[in-house]
Amino acid sequence: MVFQLFIIVSILILLIISISKWKMHPFMALLLAGILLGLCLGFGGQKTIEVLLNGFSQTIQWIAIVVILGALIGEILEKTGGSIRISEKIIKIVGTKRLPWAMGVTGYLISIPVFVDVAYILFHPIVEALSKKGKTPVLVIGLSLAAGLTASHTLMPPTPGPLAVASLLDVDLGRLIFINSLVAIFSVIGGILFAKLHCKKFLLPFDNHLLQQRREKENHKELSSSGGNVLLDLLPILVPIVLMALGSFIEIDDSIFGSILVFLSTPMIAVLFGVAISLFNYKKSNFNKLVEAAIVKSALVIMITGAGGAFGAIIRESGVQESLASYFAMATFLGFILPFLLAAILTTATGSITVSLISTASILGGMSNVMPYSPEIMAALIGCGSFCVFHANSSFFWLLNRLHKVSVNVLYKTFTIQSLVMGLFGLIGVMILYFSGVN
């Protein structure tokens, strides 16, 4: 296990240096790092390639088309002025200073039924528009949204990871939702405070681009003055979320209605409905050009996200998570925070929240009756640990890298540290609940 861990850490460091210092393209760096890691771990050439390709295909098989369709909605909203109108309405309601909090709450609510990546892609044009209109750095808005998205994705059923934890630990689902809702508030607060106070100093080249766009628009008639309907602007984003939520919250049977609901709640079909709705506001004939622009903009995001997933698959195939889990399961002296530490190490090692949640719950499930707290508190501790920490083996890391043109160095100083802060704030929340008698 020590040798495996040494190899993984060494290649992770090499990956970071190759992208940040040697200026190697992330796609090539991730691809070569994955091959090197597989060979160094003794997989052999054939298995290394198989695992790499499987990891790549599994990552992009559900996200690729959704990314393109989401980008197309963004293109249409930009051309019609919808994103500007939505951002103006949000700013009018909550004010510029409360924008991060509004985005955090939004992310928390929409990510319960919707995958983090899909939700962020749908809100990407709104993040940019709010940055322009609110004169706030993109990272502050984007990472505030990400804080809400990851909190509910990690802690709240019916998201698959928390639901699996509930099943493996045999918890009372009502109590779990109550406890994790309170813990999630602590995590989101930590994530948003970090974004507001720390990330505002990280101005990206992308921020300069948005600033230039803002100045150009100030010299011309604003698109929002065309008097478009904000509700119609929001529908392409809200309808896909509602459709995906129906698939999560409604019990689906084998009837014709159930089959239709399964079809409509599929992310690709739900977002396709969003595209269709967005066309009601777009009457021009150059739709094909918008499709091509969306594909061109999405290609790099898809490829690098897929490469990140492939690299993460090599790490998971190594079995290092089982070795680490076995070791920490025996380390009973760690007591109260054992579930938190184990989940944190697995997230850091594998880059997958779901793998971390399920693996930790599977390992520690048999110990729930000897722990000094209830299974629900254990589930909350596992969820908080699963925030820590996101880095180069996380596909969402590379999604942010390409969507906002954020360098790897900056992401490590912002997104990676934010995930640690969220985990620690969540841990504080669990401890407050525990010592207050909630057990």
Cis geometry, peptide bond prior to residue 158 (ω within 30 degrees of 0)? yes
User: How would DSSP label each residue in 213-278?
Assistant: HHHHHHTS--GGGG---HHHHHHHHHHHHHHHHHHHHSPP-SSHHHHHHHHHHSHHHHHHHHHHHH
Q: How big is the CA angle at 246 (ends 242 and 247), to the nearest 5 degrees?
A: 125
Nearest to 415 by CA among 385, 390, 386: 390
Query: Length of the chain in residues, anyone?
Result: 439
Whole-prediction pTM: 0.72
- List the pLDDT tens digit at each of the 439 positions of the chain: 678 878 888 887 888 788 767 878 878 888 998 999 999 999 999 999 999 999 899 878 877 888 788 888 878 887 887 777 877 788 888 887 888 998 888 888 777 656 687 778 888 888 888 887 778 888 999 999 999 989 988 898 766 678 778 877 888 878 888 899 899 999 999 999 999 999 888 887 767 766 666 555 554 444 444 556 788 888 888 888 788 777 656 666 677 877 888 888 888 888 899 889 888 877 777 888 899 988 887 887 788 778 877 887 887 788 776 666 566 556 555 667 888 988 888 788 777 787 778 777 866 776 666 677 888 999 999 999 998 888 887 878 888 888 888 888 899 999 999 999 999 999 999 999 988 888 7
CB atoms within 10 A of CB 256: 8
CB-based burial label for 370 (10 Å; 0-12, 13-18, 19+): exposed
Per the CB < 8 A criterion, the answer to whether 232 and 283 are in contact is no
In this predicted structure, what is the pLDDT of residue 327? 63
Looking at this protein, which amino acid is placed at residue 295?
I
Nearest one of 135, 60, 64 to 95, comparing CA atoms: 135
pLDDT at 224: 45
Distance of alpha carbon 155 from its chain centroid, rounded?
A: 13
Q: Report the distance separating Cα 119 and Cα 393, nearest Å.
A: 20
End-to-end CA distance of the chain: 35
Q: Distance between CA 148 and CA 262 in Å, rounded?
A: 26
Q: How far is residue 210's CA from residue 132's CA, in Å, rounded to a whole number?
A: 6
Tokens in use for 144?
Answer: 């505030």
Which distant-in-sequence residues (6+ apart) come within 8 Å of 98 by Cβ?
Answer: none
Q: What six digits make up the tokens of 326?
A: 């076995």
* Longest pairwise C-alpha distance within the chain: 68
Rounded CA-CA distance 373/380 in Å is: 11
User: Residue 298's pLDDT is what?
Assistant: 80
Alpha carbons 116 and 186: distance in angstroms, whole number: 19
Residue with tokens 């850490």, as numbered in its chain = 9
List helix spans (H) across 41-172: 45-60, 64-80, 82-94, 99-110, 116-134, 138-155, 160-169
CA 339, CA 359: separation in Å to the nearest integer? Answer: 11
Return the number of other C-beta atoms located less than 10 Å from residue 158's C-beta. Answer: 15
The amino acid present at 262, given as its one-letter code, is: V
Cis peptide before 389 (omega within 30 of 0): yes
222 is written with which tokens?
A: 């604003």
pLDDT at position 221? 47
pLDDT of residue 366: 64
Contact 408, 394 (CB under 8 A): no
Q: Give the amino acid at 40.
A: C
Closest CA to 5 of 335, 413, 328, 310: 328
Task: Give CA–CA dist 255/236, Å, rounded.
Answer: 28
DSSP state at residue 98: T
- Closest by CA to 378, choosing from 398, 361, 362, is 361
Tell me, what's the pLDDT at 218?
A: 53
